[in-house]
Structure 1
């Protein structure tokens, strides 16, 4: 394998890592911190992608002179809409299913089917795509044989910016303190005057909003269709479980490891066989470390 091929595959792994990381961070908050198995998380990502698509359509038709800024607006719209949807879902459905993981899984799986049908009715069964803004067109030519698309470099930067936002939100804000308090000891947090039900709703909304940002990033890599979310939900759960369901840092490292390994395996194997090999490695790793490869040590 030549050096150019190696560098290209490493960058392809980073591209896969960005989508997995953005999806997994949101799921790690919902699944890891709240214990909610949200099978509709992929559809919330697709919703974010569709919101970015609608934003691009609005800018193209009504604000053509500002189309270069539509993606930033699309990210904010995607986060706002998916967060609002997540907040409503928590209030009307999820709140009644806490500590009932099987019921939560079945309910959100049914919800994912409803979302898919709504996407088909509203946007049609054919995949849609967004135009790449002018300042992200082209590539960075590292060497004559290596060209890195600027759009993917931007998405990698977006991923680290979102990770920093999540860290500051959870560990440097009052809401983050409340969330961590409730997740560690709900009874004591309630006795201290924290509104645990409101914290649940905000936590679920933030996790869903991060899925919306992942959808925005996905529009720069691939098209969006009604079944787009189903293509990533299994990989996202694997990343969260492999990294450790209570460790956000572990989730981030797990997404990076799986993204890079899959990219390298695809050199010698087909795409489906590369995913199968990754799954086998994850199973073996979880056999020896059932709490996840990067799980944090906590006293129970």
Structure 2
């Protein structure tokens, strides 16, 4: 019985570690800009697919290189998702600040686009998107640096359909001329599997129990991410600017802090952390277009329960939600309370993944009735703002 409890605690902590990496980015984005980013789960999914691509690339070089691909996959997942997040912030989010409903709907639409993108992506689509980004964002940069702004809005309105039309024309030209694979997507709708290096397979023997190396790696990765984020926010100049804007945006702007650059950097950082989380979840199961949907709700719960913008609260909430979810859903608590039949029957009823989420939801709702600000609520002027 104790071995089963220890197994459940360890697996719950490892799941909480994944939630924590994902929630770190969401916490700083939501705490700084108040943006409800429903596409955060799809950024995790992109990080997982990036890991799959890097794995296949390193597999071509042989076994010695395959053993170290995970470190390159982590770096690639961070920068790929950070780049996507930066494009999302510059192209969509920056125009919707202070409008939470529109932001929620826009990011939900982006999440659906990213899911379909993964299902149907091929060389023609990638080249067309690259052409569109160069034309559209390059044109925006040129227009924003022009002194004459008489036709600025009209030029931006014409830039979007013009860039889109040229990108579609280039894609069709390449498909017809060079016979690029139009109908054959890279990934498709089916799930893909990520293979762990040899040194991450198996587990660490501990008496009659074994600690999987993959889950130990996820926990260690989480510790590194938390320590790195803490150091960045507390010791770096840009971390100081982020904390200043979080506390008082208007005063920070008056003091010369570029709040728009801070917003872009924060969103890119949060998106990059989502990519790292996606790299971690690729070792917990197969990866598919809907992978992010399995974690986005739990991630938001972590942010709300911990306290918006509170790093310590995010850590406590992630570990607590992940552990309780696994202990209830795996039936560990039902076995633990076998001597007490009413409690055993109660936890047996919730001993499935879906019912465990229902129970966790109910506990969170009850908790928020007592502490609506979370475990560590915000204090100071930002509460009244």
TM-score normalised by length of structure 1: 0.97
* Partner SS for 1:235: helix
- Pairwise CA distance, 1:246: 2.2
- Pairwise CA distance, 1:233: 0.6
What does residue 98 of structure 2 align with?
Answer: 99
What does residue 308 of structure 2 align with?
Answer: 245
Count of paired positions? 298
What does residue 45 of structure 1 align with?
Answer: 44
- Pairwise CA distance, 1:64: 4.1
What does residue 294 of structure 1 align with?
Answer: 376
- Pairwise CA distance, 1:184: 1.5
Indicate which of 360, 368, 371 corresponds to 1:278: 360
- Pairwise CA distance, 1:183: 1.8
- Pairwise CA distance, 1:251: 0.9
What does residue 130 of structure 1 align with?
Answer: 194
Kindly indicate whether the alpha-carbon contact (under 8 Å) linking 1:68 and 1:135 is maintained by their aligned counterparts in 2: yes
What does residue 75 of structure 1 align with?
Answer: 74
| Structure 1 residues 203-250: Cα deviation after superposition (integer angstroms, max 9, x where no partner) | 100000000000000111111100111111111111111111121210
* Partner SS for 2:192: coil
What does residue 183 of structure 1 align with?
Answer: 246
Indicate which of 218, 232, 237 corresponds to 1:174: 237
Kindly indicate whether the alpha-carbon contact (under 8 Å) linking 1:242 and 1:292 is maintained by their aligned counterparts in 2: yes
* Partner SS for 1:229: helix
Q: Distance in 2 between matches of 1:135 and 1:230?
A: 30
What does residue 265 of structure 2 align with?
Answer: 202
Q: Distance in 2 between matches of 1:181 and 1:195?
A: 11
What does residue 255 of structure 2 align with?
Answer: 192
Q: Distance in 1 between matches of 2:315 and 2:112?
A: 28
* Partner SS for 1:242: helix
Kindly indicate whether the alpha-carbon contact (under 8 Å) linking 1:286 and 1:293 is maintained by their aligned counterparts in 2: no
Kindly indicate whether the alpha-carbon contact (under 8 Å) linking 1:33 and 1:245 is maintained by their aligned counterparts in 2: no
Q: Distance in 2 between matches of 1:215 and 1:187?
A: 35
* Partner SS for 1:98: coil
- Pairwise CA distance, 1:63: 5.0
Q: Which runs of 5+ in 2 are unaligned?
A: 122-186, 335-350
- Pairwise CA distance, 1:36: 0.4
What does residue 119 of structure 1 align with?
Answer: 118
Q: Distance in 2 between matches of 1:166 and 1:15?
A: 19
| Structure 1 residues 120-157: Cα deviation after superposition (integer angstroms, max 9, x where no partner) | 1131111111111011111111112x111111101100
| Structure 1 residues 28-81: Cα deviation after superposition (integer angstroms, max 9, x where no partner) | 011122200000000000000111110001000135431111000000000011
Regions of 4+ moved over 6 Å: none
1:155-166 correspondence to structure 2 within 5 Å: 155-166=218-229
1:191-230 correspondence to structure 2 within 5 Å: 191-230=254-293
- Pairwise CA distance, 1:27: 0.7
Kindly indicate whether the alpha-carbon contact (under 8 Å) linking 1:52 and 1:71 is maintained by their aligned counterparts in 2: yes
TM-score normalised by length of structure 2: 0.76
Q: Distance in 1 between matches of 2:311 and 2:380?
A: 14
Q: Distance in 2 between matches of 1:284 and 1:24?
A: 21
Q: Which runs of 5+ in 1 are unaligned?
A: none
Superposition RMSD in Å: 1.1
Kindly indicate whether the alpha-carbon contact (under 8 Å) linking 1:33 and 1:246 is maintained by their aligned counterparts in 2: yes
Q: Distance in 2 between matches of 1:275 and 1:157?
A: 26
Q: Distance in 1 between matches of 2:327 and 2:8?
A: 6
What does residue 207 of structure 2 align with?
Answer: 143
